[in-house]
Amino acid sequence: MLDSFNDRWALVTGASSGIGAEFAARLAGLGMHLVLAARRTDRMNELAESLQTKHGTKCHIVTIDLSTLDAGEKLVNAINELGVDIELLINNAGVGLIGEVSTTEPIDIQQMLNLNINTLTDLTYRVLPGMLERGHGAIINVSSVAAFQPVAFMGAYAASKSYVLHFSEALWAETRSRGVTVMALCPGVTETEFFEVAGAPGWLLKHSSQTPAKVVRKALAALGRRRQFVVTNWKDYVMTILVRLATRRTAVNESKRYFRQGTKETNETADQTPSTPSPDEQNNS
């Protein structure tokens, strides 16, 4: 499958940093041309210039707030104006929020769900029919290991990632016989800006993590095997199995210890919690 990507187009959302930027770099190395979509134009310009110099990659940049309800429509309209067919869609843009219900702004949760669920779903349904008509293409929807269980203090986020996992697996079953692969990518803790944006600054320094390069390498290898989902760290994969063996009460109670302290720190320093989630930060936890 990866051999067929040369000289074709990929759309990468949340492409200005972290896993999104790493996907862009890896795909450019495979000979793909790129549409990069995020809010931070300066970072995307810098990335596009680098990839064009190194790989001769054509890059189109779409500056857009992907957390708005009509973001998917606007982005696809912009791509249609370019006159290109998307061979690979990387639905990477996402955000997380960590905190107690009493200190969380409902508008922030709404924006997070718009980004993590609505825009991802809308883009998938707008891009997928063209792939099916052509008989080839792929979509990677970035989920999380949090998708496999409820997680206290970030319940809406974990639920949104569970949606992404189940949605992607369903489409994998529907489309695999038609030359198209839809895969859920479920990374664990990754060295991105996620925890800073989510409201737990410093959390990443206290826990083991993986690099975006490892996540993307594992993702593309799994896509080449046409997997329906992939967990990029073997310890995280074992955890997903143990969660299924435990009672649901045990699983959710155990999750409380991961973010209880981070929640307290967030409540004491409210200025560190972003008022508006950034769609450029990928959700890995």
The pair of structure tokens assigned to 12 is 């990468």
| Cβ atoms of residues 281 and 155 within 8 Å | no
Kindly name the residue from 157, 163, 237, 258 that is annotated as catalytic: 157
158 and 147 in contact (C-beta within 8 Å)? Answer: yes
Q: Which two tokens stand for residue 33?
A: 């041309």
Lookup: tokens for 275: 């008022």
For residue 180, the SS3 value is strand
What's phi and psi for 53, nearest 5 deg? Answer: -65, -40
Tokens found for residue 268: 């004491």
Q: How many CB atoms lie within 10 A of CB 232?
A: 22
The two structure tokens encoding residue 184: 């859920």
Closest CA to 92 of 5, 191, 216: 216
Q: Return the CA Rg of the chain.
A: 18
Cβ(90)–Cβ(12) under 8 Å? yes
**Interior angle at CA 37, CA 33 and CA 39, nearest 5:** 145
Look at phi and psi of residue 281 and say left if phi exceeds 0, alpha if psi is from -120 to 50, else beta: beta
Q: Residue 127 CB: number of other CB atoms within 10 A?
A: 22
157 is catalytic: yes
State the catalytic residues: 157
